Amino acid sequence: MNALVEVRGLTKQFPHAQGARVHAVENVSLTINRKETLAVVGESGCGKSTLANLIMRLDRPTSGSIEVDGTDISSLSQSRLRPHRRKMQMVFQDPFSSLDPRRRAGDAVEDPLRIHKVGTAESRAEKVRSLFELVRLTPEHRENYPHQFSGGQRQRVCIARALALEPQLIVADEAVSALDVSVQASVLDLMVDLQDRLGLSYLFISHDLAIVEQISHRVAVMYLGQVVELGSRDQVFSDPRHPYTRKLLDAAPIADPHRRRAHKLQGGEVPSPVWAKGTAPEHVVHDEVAPGHFVAQTP
């Protein structure tokens, strides 16, 4: 498959007390192919959202490269980065806080077009109308304020806003976790339909393995800022090789009693990502255990 995003050796460290550093993302390398959904999973604090912010260049990486559609954006200035922002947009976890409560939904969806000076006022209005229909809302919904929508409808407005500039990549950071289960299904169905119709690539950040198994093509498992397993959906879910991946799957609740896994979880706290001055985590080395299935070596 043709790569849209190529991340190589991506690292992000944050300063901490007494010269220590928080190693939020450490030496991550991965690829997002065109028309593909790459899911990134792991427990809270593993670096999923930081990785998403780095790929979107909301944060500047400490080191490493982020190549989007053939251009390395990791060190571009804001002015040079601006045209590349049209290629990638983000859908956040909480649709209510993502929208200005004082502005109508139609204005929120039109904002990216105005900011990037796309089209005339008339053409933008028509574009917004078509975007509302695309995400299965009516054109009349353009006049509503955020509080007049349900949670699922608000997230549809946020998806419409993300699509306004016709991006190639959508980064969805826990985009359905704040929604009711029944609403999650309809929003996921919409995202899959949009991917088929528009040829979108998704970086799908989630802690919900059932959703990841439903929507992803490939899965990257993160632990303490590093990718410990990467493979196709079937490889990771049917043949998990890394101990941490197995623990994640064992911990996931499964409603069907015939599919439940035996829980063999061990206690203990997750190690801290804070490293004292002059120290750093050891970079994992991956083995390709099957074509396209990479697993970090364990001691």
Query: What span, in angstroms and rounded, lies between the C-alpha atoms of 242 and 221?
Result: 9
pLDDT, average across residues 133-145? 95
Of 149, 148, 161, 166, nearest to 106 (Cα)? Answer: 161
> How far, CA to CA in Å, does 48 sit from each of 215, 237, 255, 282, 299?
17, 19, 26, 19, 24
**Of the candidates 170, 177, 173, 153, the residue with the CA atom closest to the CA atom of residue 105:** 153
SS (H, E, C) 202-269: EEEECCCHHHHHHHCCEEEEEECCEEEEEEEHHHHHHCCCCHHHHHHHHHCCCCCCCCCCCCCCCCCC
With cut-offs at 50, 70 and 90, classify the pLDDT of residue 8: very high
- Write the pLDDT tens digit of every residue in 43-92: 888 999 999 999 999 999 999 999 999 999 999 999 899 989 899 999 98
Taken in order of first residue, the domains within the chain and their CATH numbers are 3-87+202-296 (3.40.50.300)
CB-based contacts of 249, cutoff 8 Å, min separation 6: 209, 237, 240, 261
The structure's pTM equals 0.91
Q: What percent of the chain has pLDDT over 90?
A: 74
List the one residue out of 154, 63, 66 whose CA is nearest residue 108. 154
- pLDDT of 261 > 60? The answer is no
Q: Which residue has the higher pLDDT, 258 or 155?
A: 155
**CA 76, CA 282: separation in Å to the nearest integer?**
29
pLDDT (0 to 100) of residue 227: 96
Half-sphere exposure at residue 201, Cβ-oriented, CA atoms within 13 angstroms = 21
> Which helix (H) or strand (E) covers residue 183, if one does?
helix 181-198
pLDDT digits (tens, 9 = 90+) for 188-214: 999 999 999 999 999 999 988 989 999
Q: pLDDT of 273-289, one tens digit each?
A: 888 888 888 899 999 99
**Nearest by Cα to 243 from 254, 253, 251:** 251
d(CA 70, CA 5): 8
Position with higher pLDDT, 254 vs 91: 91
What pLDDT score was predicted for residue 93? Answer: 86
Beta-carbon contacts of 19 under 8 Å, excluding residues fewer than 6 positions away, are 276, 277
